[in-house]
């Protein structure tokens, strides 16, 4: 009987609020591994720049886009068959992946012996865990908060991402809405500590406006995202470039 091969690959999850450097870290890891000659894939969904992983610092790289229903294990296996091996996957905006896709990433680690690095938010604008995030917390080999702290306007550590629609903080609406001031209505996000996320209080000198949430007894009441919430994507294909200058 053949002994089972012991894999040293891991599924790792790094989380933080907006502006904490998650995408910058994802790009740095991808750059370092690719520069070392390792073969891997960079993934994202609903990034601020379509078809790329982009950092607020201005660096970016072409990426595969995670479509609704895409089997990430099958995509990884196809890449390995084409290129002889798959060493790693870097997955940004992982909070938007489905629970099934997180399980597929675990298979990439266990069956393809490839490291998977996931980066994402913990909570949505309503204060609940994203479905993808919840599954990562259950399945990942390691879960670590990004070391760079973001701050609320009051100076406290930011723990929540508040959604503002035309300047009014809201607690209900579609789960997947990208920060885009050009949209109508104007949807933006603001980092807040728990106290000011709950109260909806804005910085001094601004008029505090907030749409109070309905009473929610458990996370079971969260609406599931529908296909209409997800922007159309292109079929899976090779990114136009394999690296980035970081």
pLDDT digits (tens, 9 = 90+) for 125-179: 999 999 999 999 999 999 999 877 788 999 999 889 899 988 888 988 887 676 5
**pLDDT (0 to 100) of residue 178:** 62
- Residues 164, 115 within the same domain: no
- Residues 115, 73 within the same domain: yes
Q: For position 48, which CATH number holds?
A: 3.40.50.300
16 phi/psi in degrees, rounded to 5: 180, 175
Catalytic residue among 93, 149, 190, 224: 93
| Measured CA distances, 168 to 40, 100, 123, 145, 158 (Å) | 42, 34, 19, 29, 19
- Residues 115, 195 within the same domain: no
Domain that holds residue 121: 11-148
- Residues 81, 172 within the same domain: no
Confidence bin at 226 (pLDDT 50/70/90): very low
45-70 pLDDT, tens digit each:
865 445 666 665 566 688 899 999 99
Among the listed residues 101, 47, 93, the one whose alpha carbon sits nearest the alpha carbon of residue 233: 47
Cα separation, 40 vs 82, in Å, equals 12
User: Could you tell me the pTM of the whole model?
Assistant: 0.72
The strand pair at 115-120 and 88-91 is best described as: parallel
- Residues 144, 164 within the same domain: no
- Residues 176, 86 within the same domain: no
Check if 111 is active-site.
no
In a domain, 188, yes or no: yes
> Are 166 and 188 in contact, with CB atoms under 8 Å apart?
no
- Residues 108, 130 within the same domain: yes
Helix runs in 113-174, H state only: 131-139
- Residues 71, 168 within the same domain: no
């Amino acid at each position: 009987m053949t002994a089972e091969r012991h894999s040293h690959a891991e599924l790792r999850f790094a989380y933080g609020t907006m502006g904490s450097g998650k995408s910058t870290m994802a790009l740095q890891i991808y750059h370092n591994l690719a520069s070392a000659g390792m073969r891997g894939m960079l993934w994202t969904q609903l990034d601020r720049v379509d078809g790329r992983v982009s950092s607020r610092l201005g660096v970016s790289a072409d990426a595969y886009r995670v479509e609704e229903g895409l089997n990430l294990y099958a995509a990884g296996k196809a890449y390995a068959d084409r290129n002889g091996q798959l060493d790693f996957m870097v997955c940004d905006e992982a909070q938007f992946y489905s629970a099934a896709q997180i399980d597929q990433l675990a298979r990439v680690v266990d069956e393809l012996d490839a490291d998977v690095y996931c980066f994402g938010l913990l909570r949505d604008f309503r204060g609940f865990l994203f479905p993808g995030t919840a599954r990562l917390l259950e399945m990942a080999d390691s879960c670590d908060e990004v070391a760079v702290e973001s701050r609320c306007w009051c100076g406290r550590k930011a723990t929540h991402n508040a959604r503002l629609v035309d300047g009014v903080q809201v607690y209900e609406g579609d789960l997947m809405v990208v920060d885009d001031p050009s949209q109508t209505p104007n949807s933006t996000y603001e980092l807040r500590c728990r106290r000011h996320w709950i109260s909806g209080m804005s910085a001094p000198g601004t008029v505090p406006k907030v749409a109070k949430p309905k009473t929610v007894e458990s996370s079971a009441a969260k609406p599931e995202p529908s296909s209409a919430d997800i922007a159309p994507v292109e079929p899976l294909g090779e990114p136009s470039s394999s690296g980035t200058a970081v």
